[in-house]
């Protein structure tokens, strides 16, 4: 199976779609955001740096991100394909990613852009909740994404929490950063004929159906 990369603005549903891909195709999900959120819980200098950067909506330093990606891609579970989301986030990171893949002899695979309107993102951002234990994602404002019991994860019973950056102010920062820094990588991959676009305004099953067609080459 080909590797997959998701590109999408914040709260476009890439984490949710990644969970669905993992469940159906049994490949690991590498989310730089998830890895950094784990680091941000550490009681260390790097933990507190990452914690502050995440809360502000800015980007974590490249040297931290590059080494965590390079280490993660060498793990055995990536041999039969993986899905990466949250990286690369700017042109520099995209060029560095090409170098890392070359060095490790890994094919970049399919790149999937989740295209979605900004007003839908704003509605989603305030309702998003994550499981502390297994990172499962819910949305308390959407009937088909609510947990069965308030604040409790359906999957593992863990406690749900709201990300420190899931507020409108931080969202606006992250959205501006996406438009300014991440959007240029769309052209970069378009020129290499690697980009597929799906309509992210639809419900999650319809978005997933489009992703399945890309993965299965239909
Ligand atoms: P996400 O879960 O993808 O929305 O990422 C949450 C936060 O983690 C971002 O707002 C950044 O602060 C940080 N982050 C995630 N991926 C990267 C990356 N590739 N480079 C730098 N910072 C990142």
Q: What is the pLDDT of residues 88-116, one digit of tens each?
A: 999 999 999 999 999 999 999 999 999 99
Q: Any bridge partners for residue 197, and if so which?
A: 113
Tokens of 43: 């009681």
Instruction: Please give the structure tokens belonging to residue 174.
Output: 């992250």
Omega prior to 88 cis, within 30 of 0: yes
**1-51 per-position pLDDT tens digit:** 899 999 999 999 998 999 999 999 999 999 999 999 999 999 999 999 999
Asked whether residue 56 carries a pLDDT value surpassing 90, the answer given is no
Strand 83-85 and strand 4-7: the pairing is: parallel
Q: What is the mean pLDDT of the chain?
A: 94
pLDDT band at 164 (very low <50, low <70, confident <90, very high): confident
Query: Among 29, 16, 31, which residue's Cα sits nearest to residue 82?
Result: 29
pLDDT for 165: 86
Ligand 1 pocket test, pick from 32, 46, 121 with the greatest ligand atom count within 8 Å of Cβ, gives 32
What are the boundaries of each domain within the chain?
4-28+75-215
Q: Which two tokens stand for residue 134?
A: 């297994």
Residue 172: φ, ψ to 5° = -60, -40
Q: Specify which residues 110 forms β-bridges with.
A: 4
Domain 4-28+75-215, CATH among 3.40.50.300, 3.90.180.10, 3.90.960.10, 3.60.20.10: 3.40.50.300
**From 33, 34, 88, 125, mutation site for ligand 1 pocket: most ligand atoms within 8 A of C-beta:** 33
| pLDDT value at residue 123 | 83
In angstroms, what is the C-alpha Rg of the chain?
A: 17
pLDDT, residue 6, reads: 96
Q: What is the spatial distance between Cα 177 and Cα 103, in angstroms, rounded to a whole number?
A: 29
Q: pLDDT, tens digit, for every residue of 103-152?
A: 999 999 999 999 999 989 998 898 999 999 999 999 998 888 899 999 99
Per the document, the length of the chain is 218
3-state secondary structure of 161: strand
Catalytic residue among 37, 96, 124, 128: 128
Is 89 a catalytic site residue?
yes
Determine the pLDDT at residue 1: 87
């Amino acid at each position: 199976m080909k590797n997959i990369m998701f590109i999408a603005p914040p709260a476009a549903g890439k984490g949710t779609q990644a969970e669905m891909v993992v469940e159906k195709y049994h490949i690991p999900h590498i989310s730089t955001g998830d890895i950094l959120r784990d680091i941000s819980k550490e009681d260390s200098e790097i933990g507190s740096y990452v914690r502050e950067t995440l809360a502000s909506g800015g980007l974590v330093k490249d040297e931290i991100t590059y080494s965590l990606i390079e280490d993660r891609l060498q793990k055995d579970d990536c041999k039969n394909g993986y899905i990466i989301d949250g990286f690369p986030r700017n042109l520099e990171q995209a060029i560095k990613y090409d170098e890392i893949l070359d060095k490790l002899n890994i094919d970049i695979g399919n790149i999937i852009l989740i295209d979605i309107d900004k007003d839908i993102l704003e509605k989603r951002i305030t309702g998003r909740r994550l499981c502390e234990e297994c990172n499962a994602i819910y949305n308390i404002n959407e009937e088909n994404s609510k947990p069965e019991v308030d604040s409790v994860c359906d999957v593992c019973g863990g406690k749900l929490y709201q990300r420190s950056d899931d507020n409108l102010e931080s969202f606006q920062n992250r959205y501006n950063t996406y438009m300014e820094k991440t959007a240029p990588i769309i052209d970069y991959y378009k020129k290499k004929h690697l980009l597929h676009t799906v309509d992210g305004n639809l419900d999650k099953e319809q978005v997933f159906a489009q992703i399945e067609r890309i993965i299965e080459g239909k």
